Amino acid sequence: MGRVIAVCGLPASGKGEFAAVLAESGIPVLSMGDMVRAEVKKRKIEEYPEVFGEVAQQLRQQFGDDVLAVRLCSAVDDLLENNNIVLIEGLRGVAEYDVFFAHWQERFSTVAVTAEVDVRFHRIQMRGRAEDGDRDSLNIRDQREIGWGLDKLIEQADYVIGNDEDLVEFVDKCRNWLKQIQ
């Protein structure tokens, strides 16, 4: 039986870079953020920084705070049939954690990627995603995700990887972490 790891962290902390390291090691990655981006496309909504958070919030209000987790479980189970580890990128809420833990129990663990707000804002300015905006937009996103319980997830994570340094150092940390848990 394989295991499931979910990575959490505030916007631009390095969840995607963490996921890329695991993916390059052959570990399948499913992104919760990609699910929201797909929903925005499906609804044919113009992309602007706030729309992704608004759609995520609408989904949670309409279907429950655990909607993305519930939708993702069967896809992860399918991947577990042929993989020892599956990564869920972008765990953001306690309700999602509860679904995953109930589903996989001791086979489920979390990793928090942390970075200072100034570092995260600089990354946002550099990466140019549609959901990224100015410093106020970042603060709004932080508060929305903290409202879902992200701060608690970071605090209670099974593993924490700091990401205030350059990308090369962070990638090395991720690779070393992966070696330790395999």
DSSP for the chain, written as a single string: --EEEEEE-STTSSHHHHHHHHHHTT--EEEHHHHHHHHHHHTTPPP-HHHHHHHHHHHHHHH-TTHHHHHHHHHHHHHHTT-SEEEEEEE--HHHHHHHHHHHGGGEEEEEEE--HHHHHHHHHHH--TT---HHHHHHHHHHHHHTTHHHHHHH-SEEEE--S-HHHHHHHHHHHHHHH-
Q: Where are the domains of the chain?
A: 3-175
pTM of the model as a whole: 0.88
Supply angle C-alpha 113, 27, 181, rounded to 5: 60
- Average pLDDT of span 87-98: 94
Res. 127 pLDDT band, cuts 50 70 90: confident
Res. 130 pLDDT band, cuts 50 70 90: low
Tell me what the pLDDT averaged over the chain comes to. Answer: 92
Res. 81 pLDDT band, cuts 50 70 90: very high
- Average pLDDT of span 136-146: 90
Q: Which CATH superfamily is domain 3-175 in?
A: P-loop containing nucleotide triphosphate hydrolases (3.40.50.300)
pLDDT tens, residue by residue, 14-43: 999 999 999 999 999 999 888 888 888 888
